Amino acid sequence: MGLPLFSERRMTIRKSLTGLLPGRLQTIEGQDIACRPLNVSIHGLGIISDHRLETDSTVTFTVQDKIIELKIAWSQPGFGKRDLFRYGLVATDQNVNIEQIFLDNGCLK
């Protein structure tokens, strides 16, 4: 077999999504962020978007009547041919289970 080609940075397993976001993602100023969710874990969410977000900034994820703050943990510019960016978001409140929200709304593959 051999060693993996790269070291995995994630602390938990991510699950694939249907591509549907079961809520509204916005900047802290209230501007909507058009995005496609890629994967989810208990405390994290991976998305792609053409909206430019700064690492360490905070966005809000509103699902039903809950507002969840997410921190932009990392970003990768130039995703594919279009001007898309890939982001890793982490819940600021570790008591929030993001994966469960997606599961409850039928958004896991």
Chain centroid to CA 26: how far?
12
Per-residue pLDDT of the chain (109 residues; tens, 9 = 90+): 444 444 445 567 888 888 899 999 999 999 999 999 999 999 999 999 999 999 999 999 999 989 999 999 999 986 676 789 999 999 999 999 999 999 999 999 8
How big, in percent rounded to 5, are the helix, strand and coil portions of the chain? 5, 45, 50
Q: Which domains does the chain have, with CATH numbers?
A: 15-104 (2.40.10.220)
Positive or negative, the CA dihedral 95, 98, 103, 109 is negative
pTM: 0.84
Strand order in the sheet with 35-40: 15-16, 35-40, 44-49, 84-91, 66-79, 58-63, 24-27
